[in-house]
């Protein structure tokens, strides 16, 4: 039986949409052509301190301050801690308005009709990630017990342990039965590959592999949901 496991952020929905809305609302001085770069920088800075936040070495609030302040600083903008937190409040509000990628609905429905086992592995705080899952209405395709959130289990991608937790939910499956679909090369592709899984890099932002992991290749790489649907059809 094929088991296809998905990431959530920037895989099942466009994470830049709520970010862009919050950026425009809070920082009118940011130029339109800078938004994508600031978003990418913010994600990179977030990754830098994510483990510290997960382990309680820094507060979630400080992580939020760090990532947006440094991302804006890269583009010559300086903001206060208060302005960073005001941005986060709006960003969180906009995340409550997210919608699933239109093409992803077709993919999940196809998998469901084809009796593919579906699951989710996502990094982030328990309540925050569950709110996104409910907002995206993902439980119509994916069983509750097959959703793993790092903040809930105490281990995060790319640590192979979080992938092994998912494996234990499918005791009759081999590693070759697992496919992980995600956008983040280090967390998703490297983590799943080092766990012995097949990988599908949903590289819709046309990123490059992280320099420290250039010897690891995704099993498949796609840049949009049309290409992803074709790969899913091939897999199932």
Q: What is the pLDDT of residue 211?
A: 77
Asked if 201 and 120 sit in the same domain, the reply is yes
Dihedral Cα 201, 204, 210, 213, nearest 10 deg: 10
Asked if 83 and 43 sit in the same domain, the reply is yes
Asked if 215 and 185 sit in the same domain, the reply is yes
Task: Answer with the one of 40, 75, 95 that is the final residue of a domain.
Answer: 95
Residue 68 contacts residue 88 (beta carbons within 8 Å): yes
pLDDT tens string 108-158:
999 999 999 999 999 999 999 999 999 999 999 999 999 999 999 999 999
Residue 27 contacts residue 99 (beta carbons within 8 Å): no
Task: Answer with the one of 33, 61, 95 that is the final residue of a domain.
Answer: 95
Distance CA(31)–CA(187), nearest Å, equals 30
What is the tally of structural domains in the chain?
Answer: 2
CATH of the domain at 215: 3.40.50.1000
Inform me whether the pLDDT recorded for 215 exceeds 90.
no
Residue 160: what are its φ and ψ, rounded to 5°? -55, -20
Q: Which residue has the tokens 């993919």?
A: 107
Tokens encoding 201? 């890099």
Asked if 177 and 69 sit in the same domain, the reply is no
Task: Answer with the one of 95, 121, 156 that is the final residue of a domain.
Answer: 95
User: CB neighbours of 157 closer than 8 A, spacing ≥ 6?
Assistant: 121, 123, 150, 163, 184, 187, 188, 191
Which percentage of the chain shows pLDDT scores above 70?
99
Asked if 104 and 191 sit in the same domain, the reply is yes
Asked if 220 and 103 sit in the same domain, the reply is yes
Q: What is the pLDDT of residue 137?
A: 98
Cα separation values, 109 from 55, 106, 196, 227, 229, Å = 36, 5, 26, 16, 11
Adjacent-strand bridge partners of 188: none
Helix (H) or strand (E) holding 82: helix 81-95
Which percentage of the chain shows pLDDT scores above 90?
93
Asked if 155 and 58 sit in the same domain, the reply is no
Q: What is the pLDDT of residue 212?
A: 76
Domain range holding 202? 3-13+98-235
Is cis: bond before 60, omega within 30 of 0? no
Asked if 136 and 162 sit in the same domain, the reply is yes
pLDDT confidence bin for 17, thresholds 50/70/90 = very high
- For the entire predicted model, the pTM comes to 0.94
Q: What is the pLDDT of residue 148?
A: 98
Q: Which residue has the higher pLDDT, 193 or 56?
A: 193
Residue 74: what are its φ and ψ, rounded to 5°? -60, -25
**Exposure on the CB side of residue 56, measured as CA atoms within 13 A:** 1
Asked if 173 and 84 sit in the same domain, the reply is no
Asked if 122 and 59 sit in the same domain, the reply is no
Asked if 51 and 145 sit in the same domain, the reply is no
pLDDT tens string 45-78:
999 999 899 888 999 999 999 999 999 999 999 9
Residue 7 contacts residue 124 (beta carbons within 8 Å): no
Asked if 122 and 91 sit in the same domain, the reply is no
pLDDT confidence bin for 198, thresholds 50/70/90 = very high
Inform me whether the pLDDT recorded for 41 exceeds 80.
yes
pLDDT tens string 18-39:
999 999 999 999 999 999 999 9
């Amino acid at each position: 039986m094929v088991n296809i496991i998905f990431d959530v952020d920037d895989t099942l929905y466009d994470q830049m949409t709520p970010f862009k809305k919050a950026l425009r609302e809070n920082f009118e001085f940011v130029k339109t052509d800078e938004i994508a770069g600031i978003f990418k920088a913010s994600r990179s800075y977030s990754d830098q301190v994510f483990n510290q936040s997960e382990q309680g070495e820094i507060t979630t609030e400080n992580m939020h301050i760090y990532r947006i302040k440094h991302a804006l600083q890269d583009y010559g903008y300086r903001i206060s801690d208060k302005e960073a937190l005001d941005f986060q409040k709006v960003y969180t509000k906009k995340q409550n308005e997210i919608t699933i990628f239109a093409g992803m609905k077709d993919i999940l429905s196809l998998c469901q009709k084809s009796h593919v086992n579906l699951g989710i592995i996502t990094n982030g705080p328990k309540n925050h990630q569950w709110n996104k899952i409910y907002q995206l209405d993902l439980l119509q395709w994916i069983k509750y017990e097959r959703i793993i959130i790092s903040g809930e289990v105490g281990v995060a991608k790319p640590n192979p342990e979080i992938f092994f937790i998912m494996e234990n939910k499918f005791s009759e499956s081999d590693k070759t039965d697992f496919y992980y679909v995600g956008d983040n090369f280090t967390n998703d592709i490297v983590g799943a590959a080092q766990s012995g899984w097949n990988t599908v890099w949903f590289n819709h932002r046309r990123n490059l592999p992280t320099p420290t992991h250039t010897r690891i290749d995704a099993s498949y790489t796609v840049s949009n949901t049309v290409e992803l649907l074709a790969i899913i059809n091939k897999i199932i």
